[in-house]
Amino acid sequence: MCGRFSLTTPLEELIRQFMIDEYIEDTAPRYNIAPSQKILSLISHDGKRKAGHTTWGLVPSWAKRDKWKPLINARSETLLEKPSFRSLVHKKRMVIFSDGFYEWKPGDSGKRPVRFQLKSEKPFVFAALWDRSEDGLVTSTILTTEANAVVSPVHNRMPVILHDNEQIDMWLDPKHSFGEASTLLKPYPETKMKSYGVSTLVNSPKNDVKECIEPADS
């Protein structure tokens, strides 16, 4: 799964790397993004890439928000089997910006947080879906897949990561069928990723500080 991530990359770098056409005003670095918070996301509309905020935790348009537990993740292998997702995969695909995500590794002294990045330390995006709830709130969920060899010692699932602009176009543009786009829903190559232990500050979503992404003392 993916229950916490970061986005510390300056907006101007995201605009350049991901060829964003329309975007919100600059945003502050986020070191410990948690469910129910606003997250920077990207859709394709009328041939343009538009970035803005969604709320992390999907609430389907047909569900009552006050009675629904928001869905922060969706298993990519079963999207067509789930009423919450199967209508979204055709026209409500999006991506979510990140430059690292966290999982917790069990140990003798309890679970310790681990941060995962690309070896290049460049930003990337998670494949995601979105919907608009009955009261107009736009919500989103991050797609997951089987973990690669870097993530699997810590967790058996990982978010679907896209980094290439051609892949992002295929996922965002509804002219590509879900059958085509679903070929992207696979583990990111382990040879291009790295991980390191971080402070237990990450354990609390109240802590959104630079120390969250710094390597933990040995």
Structure tokens at 26: 């600059």
**Ramachandran sector of residue 110 (left: φ over 0; alpha: ψ -120 to 50; beta: rest):** left
Instruction: Round to whole Å and give the CA distance between 163 and 168.
Output: 7
Q: Which residues contact 10 (CB under 8 A, 6 or more apart)?
A: 26
146 given a catalytic annotation? no
Q: Which residue in 13, 25, 77, 103 is the catalytic one?
A: 103
CA 85 to chain centroid, in Å, comes to 16
Place of tokens 């070191």: 31
Q: Which residue in 2, 12, 25, 77 is the catalytic one?
A: 2
Instruction: Round to whole Å and give the CA distance between 14 and 12.
Output: 5
103 given a catalytic annotation? yes
Residue 218 near residue 17 (C-beta atoms within 8 A): no
Instruction: Round to whole Å and give the CA distance between 144 and 150.
Output: 15
Cα–Cα distances (Å) from 55 to 72, 83, 189, 192, in that order, read: 10, 20, 28, 29
Residue 73 near residue 185 (C-beta atoms within 8 A): no
- Which residues are catalytic, by number? 2, 103
